[in-house]
Amino acid sequence: MENHSEVTVNTTNHMLAVLVALTLVSGTLIAQGGPGYNKHTLGVGAEVSIPTGDFADLVGTGYGGFLKYRYGQSGNATFTLSAGYSLWSEKTIADSKIKGSAFRFLGGGQYFFAPGFFGSLEVGLDAYSFDITGSGPIGIETSTWRFMVPVGLGYEVKGFEIGAKYYIFDVNYSSFTITVGYNFTL
């Protein structure tokens, strides 16, 4: 049976070795000056949104624009804040025509897993507004807030970025979005 002090020393040595390894790895990433390390960027972009699920029953294809601030926390990871506006084309349901629009506010991050290639995860709110004309279905809200979690993949080279995101609004409201943009270094 091991002595309690030997177990504590062995555990401390293992933790110290892991700490040193993590420091060396992060130092190597920082020295490489990866995609995001200690950089501030301001991005502008456009998107095309294809509604899915029940959301596709309410509105047609959408388009919009966004601004994105990004701060590089490490060689491979960045924090992001973004805001945007989207419009969805009109759809006819029964005797009513419905058009949708939304202001979007997101916070999250990107992780560059290979040169130029990144994954993103964000959380935020959409402030939806629906313009309903005609005498169709009753009970559709004219405005609402939706919590969402966009998950995406993309590629960036020399500031130009192209990506795809899946916006999960709630169980029944979601969309698939293609984005293009440019990130200006501040």
**DSSP result, 53-105:** EHHHHH---EEEEEEEEEEE-SSSEEEEEEEEEEEEEEEEETTEEEEEEEEEE
C-alpha dihedral over 101, 104, 109, 110, to 10 degrees?
30
The closest of 119, 117, 109, 38 to 79, measured between CA atoms, is 109
The closest of 124, 91, 93 to 106, measured between CA atoms, is 124
The count of structural domains within the chain is 2
Of the pLDDT bands very low, low, confident and very high (cuts 50, 70, 90), residue 3 is: very low
Question: Quick one: 70 and 118 in the same domain?
Answer: yes
Average predicted confidence (pLDDT) for the chain:
80
Q: What is the per-residue pLDDT for 178?
A: 98
Residue 87, strand partner residues: 63, 101
Terminal CA-CA length for the chain: 60
- For residue 10, give the H/E element and its range: helix 4-31
Distance separating alpha carbons of residues 183 and 15, to the nearest angstrom: 39
Question: Quick one: 92 and 18 in the same domain?
Answer: no
The closest of 102, 93, 77, 118 to 167, measured between CA atoms, is 102
pLDDT digits (tens, 9 = 90+) for 65-100: 999 999 987 778 999 999 999 999 999 888 888 889
CATH code of 170's domain = 2.40.160.20
Q: What is the per-residue pLDDT for 139?
A: 57
Q: What is the per-residue pLDDT for 155?
A: 97
Q: What is the per-residue pLDDT for 141?
A: 65
Question: Quick one: 114 and 92 in the same domain?
Answer: yes
Q: What is the per-residue pLDDT for 33?
A: 40
What is the largest distance, in Å, between two alpha-carbon atoms of the chain? 81
- For residue 162, give the H/E element and its range: strand 160-168
Question: Quick one: 44 and 120 in the same domain?
Answer: yes
* Domain that includes residue 21, residue range: 1-31
